[in-house]
């Protein structure tokens, strides 16, 4: 197997297309240990530089998807759907969206990830709720979906083990930003979940993996094509991540904003993404005739309390404290120090660089540079102003939540560097919605 792996790596290094059998052998060998990490790292780098054809990408996706257990929902009695974001700063949409969609009668079995680098992770946010356990077995996951229609868990050892091993290698070998590898990684998990429909949120801008709309569209097209080839209903939206999403950045703080959305309030951009992504999930499963009807249904359950009631069920079922739904600030961990960033001049907030904000949050302890890094759930930022808002000298631009005065002082300076005040909003600011790929 090692010799065949060397030949397979060499063929991809030389830009040749690999057969389905070669890819399957490589992945199965990687999972059983006969293909060592260093060979798989070499393969990932070859793919990074040489790319893959759609047929190769589909073969890689299939091999990874079937490297472990496959979840099925036969007999559930309702359609299933999921949503995945490629990641960004302040992107907490999955948290209000999953219970909102479930409140509309579509089951949402969601397998989520942790934050890494400047991008936040859904699991870290949920774990800031005291007692919330994301480490369920697949059997408990299926039972919860049958009982309440929604569950959010982490990737288990038995689900797509090839992806779990390969992702950790990609992260430390600078091969994360490869469209075939991203496509196979995301979709192998989502297809192994067994969902009928999938909505993808492909972020664009400084705080995203894909910095330009052209790069993002290429990734969106690859993922939609691969998902549809596997027999799933898939839509990808391209959305802005050149500035943070919403107003709260940091794990417990993002739970606070999520609960505001679930109460029919919250920032307009977070609500808009929740309604449209959720509405498309309803449309793809046939629960509504069109996207407009789907958006209206999601908005309705956010406004009338049904989405919040479903979230309360979700929190309790995962062992968390459901009182977080009533008074999140009393239940969630709170930072020791809260310090303002004040406007140093008057004018318009012209831009707020998402990557710089995200890295400042990591330095505070809200994120991690390595998988083993500890995350402080209490720290982060609450934005009082966003691009397009007018400010006067001395106005509060943001509140820094930190574990010490020293860290707060550093974060204030880093956050100031991310904000530009001018006479008008930046002409380079991306629209919230850039494109859609069906």
Q: Looking at the structure, do residues 324 and 340 belong to the same domain, yes or no?
A: no
Give the closest residue to 282 by CA, choosing from 272, 273, 290, 271. 290
Does some domain include residue 197?
Answer: yes
Instruction: Please answer whether residues 221 and 92 qualify as being in contact, where contact means their C-beta atoms are separated by less than 8 angstroms.
Output: no
Greater confidence (111 vs 151) lies with 151
Q: Looking at the structure, do residues 132 and 277 belong to the same domain, yes or no?
A: yes
Residue written as token pair 């790292």: 41
Q: Looking at the structure, do residues 121 and 190 belong to the same domain, yes or no?
A: yes
Residues 6+ apart with CB under 8 A from 302: 96, 100, 261, 262, 263, 264, 271, 274, 275, 308
Instruction: Please answer whether residues 138 and 151 qualify as being in contact, where contact means their C-beta atoms are separated by less than 8 angstroms.
Output: no
Active-site residue identified among 83, 118, 170, 283: 170
CATH of the domain at 15: 1.20.970.10
Check whether 373 has a pLDDT greater than 90: no
pTM score over 0.85? yes
Domain boundary among 328, 360, 393: 328
Q: Looking at the structure, do residues 320 and 353 belong to the same domain, yes or no?
A: no
Q: Looking at the structure, do residues 175 and 196 belong to the same domain, yes or no?
A: yes
Burial status of residue 275 (CB atoms within 10 A of its CB: 0-12, 13-18, 19 or more): buried
Residue written as token pair 């406007």: 343
Quote the CA–CA distance of 66 and 175 in Å, as a whole number.
22
Q: What is the largest distance, in Å, between two alpha-carbon atoms of the chain?
A: 67
Does some domain include residue 71?
Answer: no
Q: Looking at the structure, do residues 98 and 205 belong to the same domain, yes or no?
A: yes
Give the closest residue to 86 by CA, choosing from 225, 221, 236. 236
Quote the CA–CA distance of 362 and 375 in Å, as a whole number.
9
Q: Please confirm, yes or no, whether 428 is among the known catalytic residues.
A: no
Per-residue model confidence (pLDDT) at position 371: 64
Q: Please confirm, yes or no, whether 85 is among the known catalytic residues.
A: no
CATH of the domain at 379: 3.90.1170.30
Quote the CA–CA distance of 109 and 145 in Å, as a whole number.
7
Check whether 125 has a pLDDT greater than 60: yes
Mean pLDDT of 343-358: 97
Residue written as token pair 């890094």: 373
Does some domain include residue 19?
Answer: yes
Does some domain include residue 62?
Answer: no
Does some domain include residue 96?
Answer: yes
Count of C-beta atoms within a 10 Å radius of residue 320: 22
Does some domain include residue 21?
Answer: yes
Q: Which two tokens stand for residue 215?
A: 């790069």
Quote the CA–CA distance of 169 and 181 in Å, as a whole number.
12
Quote the CA–CA distance of 343 and 391 in Å, as a whole number.
7
Domain boundary among 313, 328, 343: 328
Give the structural domain span for 209.
Answer: 81-328
Q: Looking at the structure, do residues 129 and 212 belong to the same domain, yes or no?
A: yes
Quote the CA–CA distance of 243 and 351 in Å, as a whole number.
7
Active-site residue identified among 83, 84, 165, 217: 84
Q: Which two tokens stand for residue 211?
A: 């910095």
Q: Please confirm, yes or no, whether 373 is among the known catalytic residues.
A: no
Half-sphere exposure of 292 (CA within 13 A, CB side): 0
Q: Please confirm, yes or no, whether 84 is among the known catalytic residues.
A: yes
Active-site residue identified among 94, 128, 151, 185: 185
CATH of the domain at 183: 3.40.1030.10
Per-residue model confidence (pLDDT) at position 140: 94
Q: Looking at the structure, do residues 319 and 351 belong to the same domain, yes or no?
A: no
Q: How many domains does the chain have?
A: 3
State residue 397 phi and psi, 5-degree precision. -85, -35
Give the closest residue to 287 by CA, choosing from 273, 266, 301. 301
Instruction: Please answer whether residues 280 and 235 qualify as being in contact, where contact means their C-beta atoms are separated by less than 8 angstroms.
Output: yes
Mean pLDDT of 24-51: 96
Quote the CA–CA distance of 247 and 79 in Å, as a whole number.
33
Does some domain include residue 302?
Answer: yes
Least confident among 251-255, 332-336, 366-370, 429-433: 366-370
Instruction: Please answer whether residues 358 and 205 qualify as being in contact, where contact means their C-beta atoms are separated by less than 8 angstroms.
Output: no
Per-residue model confidence (pLDDT) at position 1: 47
What's the N-to-C CA distance of the chain in angstroms? 39
Least confident among 36-45, 158-167, 368-377: 368-377
Give the model confidence (pLDDT) of 143-153 as tens digits.
999 999 999 99
The pLDDT-based confidence of 435 (bands split at 50, 70, 90) is: very high
Instruction: Please answer whether residues 238 and 204 qualify as being in contact, where contact means their C-beta atoms are separated by less than 8 angstroms.
Output: yes
Give the model confidence (pLDDT) of 91-108 as tens digits.
999 999 999 999 999 999
Give the model confidence (pLDDT) of 179-216 as tens digits.
999 999 999 999 999 999 999 999 999 999 899 999 99
Check whether 372 has a pLDDT greater than 80: no
Give the model confidence (pLDDT) of 405-417 as tens digits.
999 999 999 999 9
Active-site residue identified among 124, 163, 242, 376: 163
Query: In the predicted model, what is the mean pLDDT of the chain?
Result: 94
Count of C-beta atoms within a 10 Å radius of residue 96: 28
Per-residue model confidence (pLDDT) at position 113: 82
Q: Looking at the structure, do residues 359 and 317 belong to the same domain, yes or no?
A: no
Check whether 370 has a pLDDT greater than 80: no
Per-residue model confidence (pLDDT) at position 172: 81
Give the model confidence (pLDDT) of 217-271 as tens digits.
999 999 999 999 889 999 999 999 999 999 999 999 999 999 999 999 999 999 9
Active-site residue identified among 83, 92, 165, 189: 189
Domain boundary among 328, 357, 392: 328
Which runs of E-coded beta strand occur in 39-190?
81-85, 108-112, 150-154
Per-residue model confidence (pLDDT) at position 167: 84
Q: Looking at the structure, do residues 106 and 179 belong to the same domain, yes or no?
A: yes
Residue written as token pair 């606070």: 256
Per-residue model confidence (pLDDT) at position 155: 84
Q: Looking at the structure, do residues 227 and 300 belong to the same domain, yes or no?
A: yes
The pLDDT-based confidence of 2 (bands split at 50, 70, 90) is: low
Q: Please confirm, yes or no, whether 163 is among the known catalytic residues.
A: yes
Q: Looking at the structure, do residues 195 and 123 belong to the same domain, yes or no?
A: yes
Does some domain include residue 60?
Answer: no
Per-residue model confidence (pLDDT) at position 368: 74
Taking the alpha carbons of 379, 385, 388, 391 in that order, is the dihedral positive or negative? negative
């Amino acid at each position: 197997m090692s010799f065949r792996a060397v030949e397979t790596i060499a063929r991809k290094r030389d830009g040749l297309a690999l057969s389905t059998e070669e890819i399957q052998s490589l992945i199965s060998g990687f999972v059983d240990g006969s293909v060592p990490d260093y060979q798989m790292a070499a393969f990932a780098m070859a793919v990074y530089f040489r790319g893959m054809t759609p047929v190769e990408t589909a073969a890689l996706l299939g091999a990874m998807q079937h490297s472990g257990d496959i979840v099925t929902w036969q007999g559930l009695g309702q359609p299933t759907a999921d949503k995945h974001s490629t990641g960004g700063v302040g992107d907490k949409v999955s948290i209000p969206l999953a219970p909102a969609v479930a409140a509309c009668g579509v089951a949402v079995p969601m397998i989520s990830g942790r934050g890494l680098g400047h991008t936040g992770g859904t699991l870290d946010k949920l774990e800031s709720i005291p007692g919330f356990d994301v480490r369920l077995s697949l059997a408990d996951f299926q039972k919860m979906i049958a009982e309440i229609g929604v569950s959010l868990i982490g990737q288990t050892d038995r689900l797509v083990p090839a992806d779990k091993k390969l992702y950790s290698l990609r992260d430390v070998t600078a091969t994360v930003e490869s469209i075939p590898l991203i496509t196979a990684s995301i979709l192998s998990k989502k297809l192994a979940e067994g969902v009928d429909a999938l909505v993808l949120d492909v972020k664009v801008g400084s705080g995203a993996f894909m910095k330009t709309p052209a790069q993002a569209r290429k990734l969106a097209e690859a993922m939609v094509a691969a998902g549809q080839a596997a027999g799933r209903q898939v839509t990808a939206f391209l959305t802005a991540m050149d500035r943070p999403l919403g107003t709260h950045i940091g794990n417990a703080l993002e739970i606070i904003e999520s609960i505001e959305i679930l109460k029919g309030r919250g920032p307009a951009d977070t609500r808009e993404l929740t309604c449209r992504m959720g509405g498309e999930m309803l449309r793809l499963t046939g629960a509504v005739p069109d996207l407009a009807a789907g958006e209206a249904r999601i908005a309705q359950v956010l406004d009338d309390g049904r989405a919040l009631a479903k979230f309360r069920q979700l929190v309790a079922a995962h062992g968390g404290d459901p009182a977080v739904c009533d008074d999140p600030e009393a239940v969630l961990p709170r930072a020791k120090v809260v310090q303002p960033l004040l406007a140093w001049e008057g004018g318009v907030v012209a831009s707020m660089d998402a990557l710089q904000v995200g890295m400042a949050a990591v330095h505070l302890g809200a994120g991690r540079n390595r998988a083993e890094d500890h995350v402080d759930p209490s720290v982060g930022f609450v934005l009082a102003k966003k691009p397009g808002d007018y400010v006067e000298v001395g106005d509060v631009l943001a509140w820094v939540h930190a574990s010490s005065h020293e860290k707060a002082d550093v974060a204030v300076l880093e956050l100031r560097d991310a904000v530009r005040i001018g006479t008008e909003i930046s002409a380079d600011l991306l629209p919230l919605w850039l494109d859609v790929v069906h």
